[in-house]
Structure 1
Amino acid sequence: MEDSITFLHSSDWQLGMLRRFLGPDGQARWGQARLDAVARIGEVAEQSGAAFVVVTGDVFEHNQVERQTILRACEALKRIQVPVVLLPGNHDALEPGSLWTSSQWQAHAPKHVTVLTDTTPVEIVPGVEVVGAPWRSRRPTSDPAAAAYADLQPPPAGTTRVLLAHGQLTSLSGGMSEVPPIDQVALEAAVADGRVQYVGLGDRHSATKVTDRIWFSGTQEVTTPEETDPGNVLKVTVSQSEIEVEPIRVGAWHMVDHRVELFDEESLQALEDWFAELPDKERTYVRLAGDGSLTLPLLSRLDTMIDVQGEAFASVEKWAKFWTVRPAPDAADLDALQLSGPARAAMEELRQALAGGDEGAGAALSLMHRLARDAG
């Protein structure tokens, strides 16, 4: 490749993010993993000979993150030994009270870190300009990228220009974005006429190629099961006429959706086997979607299985929106509990309610069966 420059592109670190489904222990480990992935970006920079690192928006989850989060972020950034350029996004916009102007950030931010606060091109290393469009509010009223390149002229001969922006493209958001999208046609025109040689985008959490020279890097560590390719940093080698982009994994966590049909002991055993085969359980969140019906003993066994696996994994939960596993109580199962007195009366009342179509009664019967079994 002719005279070129190699750098790393990342985005959407969202340090300080909380995930309600992980629980205190899982949340603490996952939060640390997001910082560890930032440190691994520094290792990739060293190994790949990258000249600098860019982060295209949402470095922090919001502008009111705890002081500890800012200090730990600064420590992680210190482990990246090359210049780092940060672009404020919608989560950490340059609004009044922004963390970027806080005493904590100002006092502890490493000297080699540059926060883009306007659209003026910055020479980050000799022969390379970085220009970006920082967000100034969470609700911009126009294309959030246009201000960075609309008035640009092609850079001086021998200079490579990298554009940083944060936001959605209409072609990928399906028109569902709550704010004006980035004009992809105009962005491609800025590349075609030589005003910029690479466009690094943020906001989409999965690594995504838009064109050869326009990419979303995705988040450094997975945040939801819906993300298709998170946990990467992009190694970009670019010149005026050529480009190579390589996703390199830095994330360590997994978030998995799993759909099951449960009707008998065999299907329940298949689910148990599936859990057993998954690696990295302590760094994996599982969201189960299920359909079917099980007898009360099997339903109790399922609940116990999910509880046990929830201890082995970072978290396992039933996806309420897609969980329709119904109890199929058998009279013999209920009679085998040998309940008497008020407990027997409650069981009979629930049995009648279930016969009348009350699904909540089925869940209550299942719980009663499980408690009575465990007590026995």
Structure 2
Amino acid sequence: MDSITFLHSSDWQLGMMRRFLGPDGQARWGQARLDAVARIGEVAEQTGAAFVVVTGDVFEHNQVERQTILRACEALKRIPVPVVLLPGNHDALEPGSLWTSSQWLAHAPEHVTVLTETTPFRILPGVEIVGAPWRSRRPLSDPAAPAYADLAPDPGGIRILLAHGQLTSLSGGMSEVPPIDQTALEAAVADGRLQYVGLGDRHSTTRVTDRIWFSGTQEVTSPEEDAPGNVLKVTIGEGIEVEPVRVGAWHMVDHRVELFDEESITALEDWFAELPDKERTYVRLAGDGSLSLPLLARLDSIIDAQGEVFASVERWAKFWTVRPAPDAADLESLQLSGPARAAMEELRQALAGGDEDAGAALSLMHRLARDAG
């Protein structure tokens, strides 16, 4: 065989929920994850890929709704080449696994194979796939080793390992389960037992070596991910070529602002206006500074309005320290009397005593009074 081209994806996590998205945003984001799967099928057609591999966490968990499984099967039908799925930590081959459910067994497309053993699977003449499916969410040892440790080199053949988990070099010692031994993995590549290692679990596309890659998730899941939304086009011949191809459509953005005056508020408005794909973008704002009550009310109005335009706009609680700085003129401009004025004075005193909630309440009072006027 001169060369072979295939696609490597992972961490679809179909059925995932995100607390920062409202019902409408959640529905659109969930559909986008399925749409990205269908786009993998389009990339397969465009690139002449012979098959697609998915290295773990196809589903968010083993108890996803029936609708999620059925829609996943429909998306898989739109991939026109064989697809090989590896159970990961989210959808492990444990008792009650969705892979043995009546919904999956009845509706899974015929061209889709779920790897349930570590026995090499011959997908094409001269091309083997060997996988290390997770059998529980808490493996006791290197989750990849059972698939390749006892293999012998196959001269002239191509063997692809599918595995899921963190590498020793990337886990930072923070992994809750045993990581994959990178040194052993590289040795298996060097001695010819493996020609490519497709990894899942890390959501950002990551090159470990020229033959060991994390594909990353097909659609972004968190602002911390620096390279999500890709599928890898892998061509193995005399050498190897790996090319990320974008299939994701959503964006998750962190933005830090210093807010002290009207100019800084206007700059934030301009930043929002320049962002593309607003309906497919989640923004997490980190902010510091202090604002007068009128400017704080204007800021609240801007964020509320943008939250209707974007998929979601959220103040990042642990990095949001924008404080009210009301002066006497701000408060007198409310022209309140009776109990309302008494409440304002009480809040004013509480703010002077360092109560940040009092500042938020004064800001809301100012905004409501302004809107009523």
**TM superposition score normalised by structure 2:** 0.99
Aligned residue number for residue 272 of structure 2: 275
CA–CA distance in structure 1, aligned partners of residues 355 and 77 of structure 2: 59
Between the two proteins, the alignment pairs up a number of residues equal to: 373
SS of the counterpart of 2:21?
Answer: helix
- 1:135 equivalent to 2:143? Answer no
After TM superposition, the structure 1 = structure 2 runs for residues 119-158 of structure 1, keeping only pairs within 5 Å, are: 119-155=118-154, 157-158=155-156
Distance between the aligned counterparts of 2:208 and 2:104, measured in 1?
A: 33
**Partner residue in 1 for 2:90:** 91
Q: Superposed, which structure 2 residues align to 1:26-65 within 5 Å?
A: 26-65=25-64
Tell me how far 1:313 sits from its aligned partner. Answer: 0.3
In the alignment, the residues of structure 2 paired with residue 158 and residue 53 of structure 1 have an alpha-carbon distance, to the nearest angstrom, of 22
Residue deviations 1:322-352 (CA, integer Å, cap 9, x gap): 0000000011010010000000000000001
Which whole-Å CA distance do the structure 1 matches of 2:318 and 2:353 have between them?
23
Deviations 1:130-186 (A, max 9, x none): 00100000011100100011000112x332000000000121121111100000000
Partner Cα separation in structure 1 for residue 342 and residue 92 of structure 2: 60
User: In the alignment, is residue 332 of structure 1 matched against residue 326 of structure 2?
Assistant: no
Q: Which residue of structure 2 aligns with residue 160 of structure 1? A: 158
Deviation at residue 207 of structure 1 after TM alignment: 0.2
Report the RMSD for the aligned CA atoms in angstroms. 0.7
Aligned mates of 2:278, 2:350 — CA distance in 1: 39
Residue 358 of structure 1: aligned partner? 355
Alignment partner, residue 200 of structure 2: 202
The reply on whether 1:284 has 2:281 as its aligned counterpart is yes
| Inter-partner Cα distance in structure 2 for 1:6 and 1:107 | 30
Tell me the CA shift for residue 359 of structure 1: 1.1
Distance in 2, Cα, partners of 1:126 & 1:334: 79
Query: d(CA) in 2 for partners of 1:357 and 1:315?
Result: 30
CA distance in 1, matches of 2:231, 2:209: 17
Counterpart of 1:249, as a letter, is: R
TM-score normalised per structure 1? 0.98
Q: Which amino acid aligns with 2:371?
A: D
1:266-300 per-position Cα deviation (integer Å, ceiling 9, x unaligned): 00000000000000000000000000000000000
Which consecutive aligned stretches of 4+ in structure 1 deviate over 3 angstroms post-superposition? none
Q: Give distance in 2, aligned partners of 1:33 and 1:242.
A: 35
Matches of 2:124 and 2:107 in 1, distance apart?
23
In 2, Cα distance between the equivalents of 1:277 and 1:121? 51
Out of 209, 217, 220, the position equivalent to 2:218 is 220
